[in-house]
Amino acid sequence: MATLRIETSVNRENSVTRQLTDRIIATLGDSDVVTRDIASEPLPLIDSTWASARVKPAEERTELDQEALALSDALVAEVQAADTIVISAPIYNFTIPASLKAWIDLIARVGVTFRYTEDGPQGLLEGKRVIVAFASGGTGIDSAADFASGYLRFVLGFLGITDVTFVAADQLAVDPEGTIARAHAQIDALRDAA
């Protein structure tokens, strides 16, 4: 089984989501883990060159178009090769980090990871499992102030990934020890369910 780990926390040493993803990866026991730390190595934002290149047929793409899509192609290949994707999602100002949005923008490719049909959009990344390590200081998961978890469920579903589990260490500022203990129990449940 192949696992893709997406790290997005700007905190390197004291990150709750990084600690949770460590524990999730250890619990899964997969030896084939690819890590993409997009907080340490930021991704570029999509631009007009990228947007133009992605809609051209492959045989019509110029060298500049191919260069514009090269990183996106590599990110998509990582997702396609993964059976499980573990995503860290610290909550910054009620939503996901900009780095995670940049990753989503680069992997959401019409004709590659989703397509439009007469019956509506169809995701092309079916059969994958996503585990999201969600952490916040005060935002409760699925609360009115949480603009992250619903978005992630929606966009992953749009891409065809419906097996999405959240490990929530939310409201750390209120009850840090209890919150971490509950998150660890959620991770233990992942192992027990396997």
Residue ranges of the annotated binding site for FMN are 9
Q: What is the 3-state secondary structure (H, E, C) of the chain?
A: CEEEEEECCCCCCCCHHHHHHHHHHHHHCCCEEEEEECCCCCCCCCCHHHHHHHCCCHHHCCHHHHHHHHHHHHHHHHHHHCCEEEEEEECECCECCHHHHHHHHHHCCECCCEEEECCEEEECCCCCEEEEEEECCCCCCCCCCCCCHHHHHHHHHHCCCCEEEEEEECCCCCCHHHHHHHHHHHHHHHHHHC
Residue numbers belonging to the annotated binding site = 9
Residue 93: which region, alpha, beta or left (left: phi > 0; alpha: psi -120 to 50)?
Answer: left
Residue 82 and residue 149: Cα distance in Å, rounded?
21
